């Protein structure tokens, strides 16, 4: 069941009205497509947000989700010490974290949209200093090459799943990071099809699926060679494993 854009926005606003009535709450910060990137908000979006509270109040908002019950909750799973993943009975899904003031300087996140705040002095938390990966293409290509080599060792040993993870996940992620700027500083696979449509055909070669990691490694190696010098000894050993 797909939610309309207005349903998601209204649910976020309803949560804002709820937290405003709670003691110890300071700010509700919407992130991602429900935050400052609302041009991306569509039927396939969910709710991502931070609840910032006074020091000493975090446990209350983690252990008791009454403040979220603006509509009946059907599912909840505490996935980290900081927050939960939840789903409402109408299918709206949300992921959130609760942080105290003292924790905020150490949290890495993208700028968000203030849904509600108790004091304008808290605005600084809406625009953090985001620490993102350095765009070092050479480093990423070297990581990808070693992913290919070790992944092929696993594959030839019969550890196909381990080989798949190194070749079709780790190596591909490193190649994407080497390729250029990503739209999500935390996940290079997000929105690749729209930001780099020229890569789609290559992705089909790099991601053929379980049991086809040798073919994937060969395609990824060809791409790296076209963009980055490959150490001849390392290439020799990768090719040896490709042909084993």
Q: Is residue 109 included in any domain, yes or no?
A: yes
Q: Write the pLDDT tens digit of every residue in 9-40.
A: 999 999 999 999 999 999 999 998 898 888 87
Q: Distances from the Cα of 164 to the Cαs of 12, 152, 239, in angstroms?
A: 39, 9, 17
- Residue 172: other Cβ atoms inside 10 A: 23
CATH number at residue 43: 3.30.460.10
Q: Is the pTM of this model over 0.85?
A: no
The counts of H helices and E strands in the chain are 9, 6
175: pLDDT strictly greater than 70: yes
Q: Is residue 115 included in any domain, yes or no?
A: yes
Residue 154: predicted pLDDT: 93
Mark whether 9 and 119 lie in a shared domain.
Answer: yes
Q: Write the pLDDT tens digit of every residue in 150-173.
A: 899 999 999 999 999 999 999 998
Q: What is the DSSP letter of 228?
A: S
Mark whether 141 and 121 lie in a shared domain.
Answer: no
Mark whether 143 and 121 lie in a shared domain.
Answer: no
Q: Is residue 132 included in any domain, yes or no?
A: no
């Amino acid at each position: 069941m797909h939610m309309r854009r207005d349903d998601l926005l209204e649910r976020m606003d309803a949560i804002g009205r709820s937290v405003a009535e709670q003691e110890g709450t300071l700010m509700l910060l919407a992130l991602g497509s429900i935050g400052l990137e609302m041009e991306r908000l569509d039927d396939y979006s969910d709710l991502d947000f931070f609840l910032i509270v006074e020091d000493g109040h975090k446990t209350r908002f983690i252990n008791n989700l009454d403040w979220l019950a603006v509509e009946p909750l059907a599912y909840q799973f505490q996935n980290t010490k900081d927050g939960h993943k939840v789903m409402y009975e109408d299918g709206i899904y949300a992921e959130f974290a609760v942080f105290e003031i003292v924790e905020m300087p150490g949290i890495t996140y993208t700028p968000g949209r203030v849904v509600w705040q108790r004091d304008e002095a808290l605005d600084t938390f809406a625009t953090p200093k985001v620490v993102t990966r350095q765009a070092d293409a050479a480093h990423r290509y070297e990581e990808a090459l070693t992913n290919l080599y070790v992944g092929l060792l696993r594959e030839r040993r019969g550890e196909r799943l381990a080989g798949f993870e190194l070749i079709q996940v780790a190596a591909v992620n490193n190649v994407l990071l080497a390729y250029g700027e990503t739209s999500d500083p935390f996940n290079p696979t997000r929105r690749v099809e729209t930001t780099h449509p020229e890569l789609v055909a290559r992705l089909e070669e790099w991601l053929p699926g379980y049991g086809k990691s040798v073919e994937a490694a060969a395609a990824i190696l060809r791409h790296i060679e076209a963009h980055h010098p490959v150490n001849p000894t390392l290439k020799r050993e990768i090719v040896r494993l490709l042909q084993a």
